[in-house]
Structure 1
Amino acid sequence: MTHKTKGIVLRTVKYGETSLIVTIFTELFGVQSYMVNGVRTASKSNKKANCFLPGAILDLVVYHSEQKNLQRIKEFQWAYLYQHNFSDVIKNCIVLYMVELLNKCLKQPEENHNLFNFCEDVLKELDTAERSVTANIPLYYTLQLTHFLGFKMIDNYSKENSFLDLQEGCFETTQPDHNNFIDGEQAFTTSQILKVLLPFELEQIKLSRDARRNLLLQYQNYYALHIAEFGQLKTLTVLHEVL
């Protein structure tokens, strides 16, 4: 049976001489792996293979069987054609960071419409964002993603609650008795980002390159504390350089 669904490409691996194995976060079935045949043949344009660049948002017609680990795609086309996300170096690095983080978090093939809509919206916002917004999108995305994954960070920051306990995911009045916390300006900035409802509001948050670097490292630690075998993000080093 075939199904129509949107999908966000997370990872692509060459298979044989002409095919690809593609990991896609689909709106209907969650994260799935697909065999895509014949898109890398010399006689065909690379345009078909380009549809499966990480971060691409596609309209798909797929075959789906609960008994199979590797599904197949019948039809595919762009659902949204980026203006800048693939051509702009900074924006493309952010896209790669976003899809790597998402791929590490999606352990089970379950549908999650709200999460899919959030990721799709942020990718589209990134595509048209001004530089002042673009630089803060990784921070916004990383924090907001936790809302959909079961370990939402609580914004209860105040002058009294100024220590962000990364193990508990909330602000505390006293310094935790472990090293997994942030305080001072980093805690305040985190609270400000948690208050952002739409990406264009990020323009109001002015941060230095070092501040963004340190916050992203702390947020990676937060994920590692809440997701088993999370490890480290390979794209984070590159992202630090371009931001």
Structure 2
Amino acid sequence: MLINTQAIIIHSLRYREADLIVKAFTKSSGLKSYLIRGVLKSKKGKLRASMFQPLTLLEVEANHKDKGTLENIREAKVNPPYQDLTTNVYKSSIAMFLAEVLNQAIQEEEQNEALYQYLENAFLWLDKNKKFANFHLLFMVKLSSFLGFYPHQYDQDLPYFNLLDGEYQLDDTNKYCIQNENSELLKQFLLVNFDEASSIKLNQSRRKSFLEMLILYFELHLHGFKKPRSLDILHQLF
């Protein structure tokens, strides 16, 4: 079936000498994998390797057979193009990290327009804004709501956050219950949007500790989720 849809590139892998295998989250069909033949050697074709960098926003015309095999992209157009995301070393490092997170976290092969819209809006916000040091932290907190484990039973007076159950509670009931700066910091992130996230003042040490808590949270709720390889680079920059 010929499909016209918006897509966000999640991951691309070189295959043989000139091909790419590309994983994309599409607005119409959820997660899809494509074989892009000859794109690494082609200089005049409709498809170029630069289109398939992580988090690129595309409009694609694709042939979806929906048989669990690699699909085919016939035409693609970058829309909208980023202005700053790919050239700013700090933003591109965040993009690399979040692409790794999404590559492990998104597993559904069904349409999910709400998740697609969240991702697109978030990446366009990152591209346009200058205060973004806490962006990846809030992004992961909000992403958890689309993946089914958003922190609930929030109450300012409940001291423990149970990473295993994803809720605040009065008592310490297992080894994954935390009562520290991170559990209090999470309460702040639950109450802000991207424009407000920069008002949460963090030094490098606290940002690193909170991010590692979020990664553990994802590991506990997503089968096979592992610490992204780009995490060390992110820690150095932020």
TM-score by length of 1: 0.92
2:9 partner amino acid: V
TM superposition shift of 1:47: 8.2
- Counterpart of 2:95, as a letter, is V
Matched, 1:175 2:175: no
Task: Check if 1:192 corresponds to 2:188.
Answer: yes
| Corresponding residue SS for 2:182 | helix
Counterparts of 1:210 and 1:148, CA distance in 2 = 28
Would you say 1:26 and 2:26 are equivalent positions? yes
Give the match for residue 79 of structure 2.
79
Instruction: Note the 1:38-187 alignment, pairs <5 A.
Output: 38-41=38-41, 43-44=43-44, 48-131=48-131, 134-154=132-152, 156-158=154-156, 160-178=157-175, 180-187=176-183
- Quick check: 1:12 aligned with 2:21? no
> What is the one-letter code of the residue matched to 2:48?
K
What is the aligned partner in structure 1 of residue 211 from structure 2?
216
Taking structure 1 as reference, are residues 2 and 46 closer, same or farther at Cα in structure 2, changes over 3 Å only?
closer
Give TM-score, length-normalised by structure 2.
0.94
What's the secondary structure of 2:141's corresponding residue? helix
Gapped regions of structure 1 (runs ≥ 5)? none
Q: Tell me the C-alpha RMSD between the 2 structures.
A: 1.7
Q: 1:47 to 1:68 in 2, by over 3 A?
A: closer
Query: Equivalents in 1 of 2:152, 2:43: separation in Å?
Result: 54
Q: Is the 8 A contact 1:155 1:191 kept in 2?
A: no
Q: How far is the alpha carbon of 1:48 from its aligned partner?
A: 1.6
Q: How far apart in 2 are the matches of 1:87 and 1:76?
A: 22
Which whole-Å deviations, capped at 9, do the CAs of 1:192-241 have from their partners, x for residues lacking one? 11111x31111211111111100110111111111112122212221111
User: 1:157 offset after TM fit, Å?
Assistant: 3.1
Change (3 A) 1:43 1:136: closer
Distance in 1 between residues matched to 2:43 and 2:111, nearest whole Å: 37
Give the Cα separation in 2 of the matches to 1:47 and 1:20.
11
Secondary structure of 2:71 counterpart:
strand
Give, in angstroms, the shift of residue 108 of structure 1: 3.1
Give the Å deviation of 1:79. Answer: 1.3
Give the letter for the 1:186 counterpart. Answer: N
Question: Structure 2: any 5+ residue segments left out of the alignment?
Answer: none
Contact kept? 1:40, 1:46, Cα under 8 Å: no
What's the CA shift string for 1:109-168, capped at 9, x where partnerless? 12111111101111111111113xx1101110111001111111126131x301111011
Match status 1:237 vs 2:232: yes
In the aligned structure 2, how far is the partner of 1:46 from the partner of 1:59?
13
Q: 1:43 to 1:58 in 2, by over 3 A?
A: closer
Larger mean Cα displacement after TM superposition, 215-224 or 98-107: 98-107
Shift of 1:71: 0.1
- SS in structure 2 at match of 1:130: coil
Aligned-pair identity in percent equals 28
